Structure 1
C-alpha cells in the first residue's frame, strides 16, 4: 500500500476522533457480518430519515465498508492511517478544528448523495481524509505497493485508479476528492488570498466538547 519514505513519528498522540471512527466502523461491520444488523438498515435514504425519523442513517452511511474482505480491510487501513496522520500532523492540538472538518465533509457528502444516489459514503470519507493530508504534505514521496513512486498530491488519484481496477464506481472516490478539495480551498487557500477570510470557523463550545463528540456519535442506535 502507499506509504511515506521518511520515518514515522514515534510519539504517541491521543486521537479521540480516530478511535471513535475506527471503533464504530469495526463494530458496525461485525454486527452486519453476524446478521444482527442488515445493510438496508444502515444506508443513506433521505425519505426514511424524514418520514420515519431514522436519523442514525446520517451516521451509519459512513461506517459500513461492506462485508469483511479486501475492500473492507483496504479502506480501514487507509482510514486509520490518514486520520491518525492528520490528527498528529496539521491538526495536532486542534481537535475541535478536526471535528469541524469531519462534520463539514460529512454534510457535503450527504448533500451529494441526494443527487448521486450513493447509499454508503465511507469510502468517499476516507478519500477526503487522504486528499486533505496529501495537499498539506506536497513534498512527501509515496510508494504504492512497491510499484509506483510519486508525490503525495497524486495519492488520491492513484487510489481512484486502483478502485476502478477493482471494479468499483468512480463516483464515490470523485465525491471524496471533490469534498476534500472544497475543504482544502476554504481552509488553506482562500484565507491566504488578498481579501480572503476563513469561512470554516470552529464554534467555541467545540473546544471543550469535541473530545467526546465521536463517542456520542458511536452510541447512536444502528
Structure 2
C-alpha cells in the first residue's frame, strides 16, 4: 500500500506536487513549533537588512491557515496548480507556468504590502490560481462543499466563505484573497485580453532566460500522453503522428548518422 501511495505521489505533476508538499511541511513545522514562523512571513523592511532576507519573497506563500486550513490550503493549491500544469493550453511549457507564478506572486506581494503592510499571502495565491483555472470554464459546473455552482463562481465563493469565518480573521483573509484576484485578472489582461482585442502584443511574455534556465526536455511525459517539443529548424520537425518520431531521425545517435559509408576491415 505504501509503495502504491508513493508511486501515485511521484506520478503527480511535479511543480504542483512540489509546491503543495512544501506548503504542507513548512506549515506543519511552524504550527508544531519545530521552526519559528518569524522566518517565513514577509515584511518589506527585512529585505533591506544586512544580509537581506530575500527568501521571504517565496516563503510567505508556504504558510497555510491553522486547523483545517492546514489540509485544505495545500489541497486547493495542488488542485488548481496541477490543472494549469497539465490541462491548460496557455501553459504548455513549464517555463510559462513558472513565469505566471513569478508574475502573480510579485503583484500579490506588492499589493498586500501596500494594503496590509506584510504577512503571509498563500490565500491570495490560491485565489489567483482558482481565477486563472476557472475563467474559461463557461458552462462547466463545479462542486463547492455540498452544492453545485458554475465553475467561474468558485473564487467568489471561496472569498465569501472567508467573510463568513466566525473566528474574526475572515475579513483579513478576504482582503488578502482580493489581491490575488486582482493579480490574476491583471495577468490575463496583459497576456491575452490586450493582444486579442486591441491587436497588440503580449505585454508580459515569458523571458528567454527563463526558458534557458528551465531547459525543458524534448519529451514531456504527461498523464494524457507525450508532448514532443521541437528544437528549432528543420531537424526539429516531427511527423505529426501519434508516435512522435522525427522525420529521418531513426533510432541512431546524431554522431553515427554523420559518419561516411565506412570500409570493410580485413
TM-score (norm 1): 0.82
Q: In structure 2, do the counterparts of structure 1 residues 210 and 138 end up closer, same or farther at CA, with 3 Å as the change threshold?
A: farther
Q: Is the contact made by 2:65 and 2:73 (CA closer than 8 Å) also made in structure 1?
A: no
Greater relative CO (CA pairs within 8 A, separation 6+): 1
Q: Secondary structure of the residue that 1:205 maps to in structure 2?
A: helix
Q: Which residue of 2 aligns with 1:157?
A: 156
**Root-mean-square deviation (CA), in Å?**
2.0
Query: How does 1:10-159 map onto structure 2 within 5 Å?
Result: 15-52=13-50, 53-67=52-66, 69-90=67-88, 91=90, 93-117=92-116, 118-147=118-147, 149-159=148-158
Aligned partner (choices 191, 201, 208) of residue 187 of structure 1: 191
Q: Which residue of 1 aligns with 2:235?
A: none
Kindly state the Cα deviation for residue 211 of structure 1 after the two structures are TM-superposed: 7.0
Unmatched segments (≥5 aa) in structure 2: 1-9, 217-266
C-alpha separation in 2, matches of 1:179 and 1:13: 30
Q: Is the contact made by 1:128 and 1:177 (CA closer than 8 Å) also made in structure 2?
A: yes
Using the TM superposition, name which of 138-147 and 79-88 deviates more: 138-147
Using the TM superposition, name which of 100-109 and 150-159 deviates more: 150-159
Using the TM superposition, name which of 111-120 and 151-160 deviates more: 111-120
Q: In structure 2, do the counterparts of structure 1 residues 70 and 34 end up closer, same or farther at CA, with 3 Å as the change threshold?
A: closer
C-alpha separation in 2, matches of 1:142 and 1:211: 35
Runs of 4+ in 1 over 3 A off after TM superposition: none
Q: Is the contact made by 2:81 and 2:129 (CA closer than 8 Å) also made in structure 1?
A: yes
C-alpha separation in 2, matches of 1:205 and 1:16: 21
Q: Is the contact made by 2:20 and 2:75 (CA closer than 8 Å) also made in structure 1?
A: no
Q: Structure 1, residues 14-52: CA drift from partner, whole Å, max 9, x if none? A: 623212211211221132133232112211111111124
| Total equivalences in the alignment | 199
Kindly state the Cα deviation for residue 203 of structure 1 after the two structures are TM-superposed: 1.6
Kindly state the Cα deviation for residue 183 of structure 1 after the two structures are TM-superposed: 1.0
Q: Secondary structure of the residue that 1:150 maps to in structure 2?
A: strand
TM-score (norm 2): 0.69
C-alpha separation in 2, matches of 1:172 and 1:194: 31
Q: Secondary structure of the residue that 2:120 maps to in structure 1?
A: coil
Unmatched segments (≥5 aa) in structure 1: 1-11, 213-222
